[in-house]
Amino acid sequence: MTTVSAAVPSAAVAASAVSGKRRLIGFVLLLAIVCALPFLVSNYRTFQFTLVLIYAIALLGLNILTGYNGQISLGHGAFYAIGAYVAAILMDKFGVPYWLTVPVAGVVCLGAGFLFGLPALRLEGLYLALATFALGVAMPQLLKYKHLEHWTGGVQGIVIIKPDPPFGLPISQDQWLYFFCLAIMLLMFALGANLLRGRVGRALIAIRDHPVAAEAMGVNNALYKSLAFGVSAMYTGVAGALGAIAVQFVAPDSFSIFLSITFVVGIVIGGLASIAGAVYGAIFIQFVPNIADQISKAAPWAIYGVFLIGFMYAMPVGVAGAIRIAWARIKRRTTGGGESQTS
Amino acid sequence: MDAFLNQVFAGLATGGIYASVALALVMIYQATHLVNFAQGEIAMFSTYIAWTLIEAGVPYWPAFFLTVAIAFTLGVLIERIIVRPVEQAPVLSVVVVFIGLLVIFNSLAGWIYTYTIKVFPSPFPKQPVQFGGHSFSAHELGAVGVTLVVLGLLYAFFRYTPLGLAMRAAAQNPESSRLVGIRVGWMLALGWGLAAAIGAIAGMMVAPTVYLDPNMMAGILLYAFAAALVGGVDNPGGAVLGGFIVGVLENLLGTYVIGNELKLSVALVLIISVLVIRPSGLFGKVHVSRV
Amino acid sequence: MSIKQWLVSAAAIVGLALGAPSALAQKKYDPGASDTEIKIGNMMPYSGPASAYGTIGKAAAAYFKKVNDEGGINGRKINFISVDDGYSPPKAVEMARRLVEQDEVLVIFNPLGTPSNSAIQKYMNAKKVPQLFVATGATKWGDPKNFPWTMGWQPNYQTEGAIYGHYIVKTKPGAKIAVLYQNDDYGKDYLKGFKDGLGDKAKQIVAEVSYEVTDPTVDSQIVQLKGSGADVFFNITTPKFAAMAIRKAYDIGWTPLHFLNNVSQSVGSVLTPAGLEKSVGLITVGYLKDSTDKQWENDPGMNEFKAFMKKYYPDGNITDSFNVYGYAVAQTLAQTLKQAGNNLTRENVMKQAANLKDLQLNVALPGVKINTSATDFYPFESMQLERFDGKQWVLFGEVMGK
């Protein structure tokens, strides 16, 4: 199967190799800052940054489905909830160590997402939005269901114990959790980048942009679409498990439809079909409500709404998109209108 | 049998609520091919405006029509000022703008009017209507009647007036419409205005039953959305019928099948199954897209 | 006396003067307290599905403004920091951490909702910060042995449910009982207490139906309950749904012996929207006075409350019983802090909260007093039955509970 991208002129290869090294140095620097953060700020801030990491994983999951594959989901909070409850039940009822619950949650959600993706194949656009919206709305009710109460703790929820740093490391629980989540996030982002920049990613994008042509070119639409659902749910489920461990509590009220809507807001603001967008979106959904609350005590969510609309005016393709556009503009100016590469 | 009928009638009453909001959703979809999630909140806010007028002493029907006019203007303004700049943006960005509108209206209503429930008057008589051994609330019958009247007017508007035709054209094919001289921008604004007006009517019909508070529409919106899709999102009559179906279904499921704890989930599963079998809804037009 | 004796006495007197725990001499502070201010943290659902309760936080904030205007508590101003948790447990955890670790408050006062409080309970007890006078009636908040830093305030739901149960057993033993409850911790807690109070008569419950906060109406449920043939109805609903239930029951001609839970007993916010004539015969228990009740028209405590609302919280709804609640619970905290004097450590505040004896608030029903001790972490335990006569709640029976 021939690759979609055209042959690249050699000069550009050399140029990208140089910029590749610069990118690597930049990445290493960023990583160093990110690792130093928990030691520079209070435990409370570290906790908030941990939440940002967790949301970033969830948003990347949703982005795989909606940004790259064009299947809109207004109910991803449900998969986050499933992941969280899997982790909580395993830790609370079966004494499973916290680090093991995360991959288990991921596998469970992979299956759940795939199963949901199968009937969803018949639904497009608006109708898929409704179906996922329904899933998001129904999840709290399901979690409260009295015949499941024995497992889920019903409305009372489940309290979880926060893990201690292993090997007696001299860091606080919050700092350890931050690094644990950071490690998982980097792993999942690396996996995701690999997936999305390769053949699978191109197939997903092809299905998004022109499903008929993609099918005609030999892409198995049904398989890829269901897989996209499964993988996307897996990412969000992993985030849910980490979220449960960080917050140390799960209850049906933690996973309302508003969570699902917040995720959609996150990927759009961060930038659809962008891996870095997941991080920008996570920063937005974690911190902007707090900022809005500081600006106006009387109607903080009105301020949040204004932020949403303002961001969409200024950056209709999200923060990542805006950065891409700005970067391209700078590059065009510095290379004097030479070859313009698509990144 | 008696209890069953009672549940059916109660379901038709709540169904009437869903139908009227679904009508507003379909209206905006027909005009813009977008589902406006903020529709419920704009309707709620318009109802508060009506409440303010009535509290200030304005009699019911003048307040009603004044509110409809205000809502219409509000809809047009929102389209021109807030939605216009992001018209060319990807669909999801527009959705985020709608979500922004939703939280703004909800938060403003809570701030201005507080969260205590308020009584909203009904223009219909208070005595129940007796019919065949069952008593029906006059208001609920009246509200259904108003919804049907609005439906009829809408149908006539889209089918028989040139303006309605122009609106449908603008939504379906903006480029071609421009070529034949239709002011597409103003058609969209008109669509928004009409949708807001219908939403205001829906809100004023709903509020006497569910009491007026900022979160009044939250529970209704999902059902209205489901009703609109079940009926076919481009079919106003289908949306109204869908509303009644959803209302009755919800009640019967809750009472006889699964208990109230899971009726929402089961109702939604059923609706989604309907959509899987007939993806365009029960009465919607099947879209065939050319490759 | 000899010089030696004189010196000994003098030394004794000096020693006594230095060693005696004089209120002004020994000042002990934990984070949040200082010579000039006491920082009180609070979280409320100002947004989200439970936003109707947000007015409690606003009433409390207004009360502390009044306290500050009148000189503060023991000369210190109250710095009341209230944040929104949106009724979401993860947000509650984040806000609690912010209040404790960033704002460094002395206590977290009156956090609302069982989910939020459940989420932060472990954290608060681990950090040894008082989680004081929580705004929920869930029974689990009075557990000093396991959670010595958490204390409830209002009469707990199970006790109230049990009171109705006992009443039915006593006055209507052959009853056929129907229950409508909100499908969450609040509803289920009431239901449990009710069944416990009924004892083996609990099998006479012929219909037990729930609703969700997201349901538009409860009409279907009321129709269902009438169809069960029940002649006693326990109505466990929050204000909006209570009004709907009362109205619908009347409209379909169902007139059971109707018990209404205390959360929704407000004449202004529930019975008036439902229709006063439709609310005749309702029975509930009360512990606070209702501000629209004519019998308290000339009551000095109520008048003070009304004047307070007019001056400090004019946007607030004077008929909303949640505002009376906020006023009362703020008064309780003020009393606790006053008792703590200059020893403003968290431990001492907790100790004083567990040391409220026969505290009769001026907006509480006469005879209904707050009592706490080291083993009793339920401040309000007594209530009195009252019946609605179309205009006001008429108390009957005696004050029950401790």
* Residues C217, B209: C-beta atoms closer than 8 Å: yes
Among positive and negative, which fits the CA dihedral B135, B139, B142, B146?
Answer: negative
* Residues C114, A44: C-beta atoms closer than 8 Å: no
Nearby residues of B227 by Cβ (< 8 Å), 6 or more positions away: B15, B18, B19, B22, B239, B242, B243, B245, B246
Q: Min CA distance, C101 vs chain A (Å)? A: 6
pLDDT, one tens digit per residue, over A282-336 is 999 999 999 998 888 778 899 999 999 999 999 888 899 899 899 899 988 887 6
pLDDT at C14 over 80: no
Nearby residues of A106 by Cβ (< 8 Å), 6 or more positions away: A83, A234, A235, A237, A238, A241
Nearest CA to A202 out of A83, A332, A68 is that of A68
Candidate CATH numbers 3.40.50.2300, 3.40.50.300, 3.50.50.60, 3.40.50.720; the one for domain C157-286 = 3.40.50.2300
The chains found to touch A (3+ Cβ pairs under 8 angstroms) are: B, C
For chain A, the residues whose C-beta falls within 8 A of a C-beta of chain C are 42-44, 47-48, 51, 137, 141, 144, 154-157, 159, 243, 247-251, 253-254, 256, 258, 293, 300-301
Where residue C16 falls among pLDDT bands split at 50, 70, 90?
Answer: low
The model carries a pTM of: 0.88
Query: In this structure, what DSSP letter does residue B33 have?
Result: S
* Residues B117, C273: C-beta atoms closer than 8 Å: yes
Nearest CA to A239 out of A47, A46, A48, A50 is that of A50
CATH domain C29-155+299-383 topology: Rossmann fold (3.40.50)
Of A2-11, C212-221, C359-368, give the range with the top mean pLDDT.
Answer: C359-368
CA distance linking residue A223 with residue A3, whole number of Å: 20
Beta bridge partners of A300: none
CB–CB contacts below 8 A, A to B: 125
Residue pair C339/C348 in contact (Cβ under 8 Å)? The answer is: no
- Chain C residues with beta carbon closer than 8 angstroms to that of B209: 217, 219, 244
Where residue C11 falls among pLDDT bands split at 50, 70, 90?
Answer: low
pLDDT at C194 over 90: yes
Q: How much is the average pLDDT of C268-292?
A: 90
Backbone angles phi, psi at C111, to 5 degrees: -65, 145
Candidate CATH numbers 1.10.260, 1.10.10, 1.10.3470, 3.30.70; the one for domain B2-277 = 1.10.3470
Greatest Cα-to-Cα distance within chain C, rounded to the nearest angstrom: 96
pLDDT, one tens digit per residue, over C310-368 is 999 998 888 888 999 999 999 999 999 999 999 999 999 999 999 999 999 999 998 88
CA distance linking residue A25 with residue C28, whole number of Å: 53
Mutation for A interface: B265, B269, B288, most A CBs within 10 A: B265
Query: In this structure, what DSSP letter does residue B257 have?
Result: I
pLDDT at A2 over 80: no
Mutation for C interface: A249, A262, A288, most C CBs within 10 A: A249
Low-confidence stretches of chain B (pLDDT < 50) are none
Q: Min CA distance, C343 vs chain B (Å)? A: 39
> Does the beta carbon of B219 lie under 8 angstroms from any beta carbon of chain A?
no
First to last CA, chain B: 53
If DSSP codes are grouped into helix, strand and coil, which group holds residue B207?
helix
Q: What ipTM was predicted for this assembly?
A: 0.86
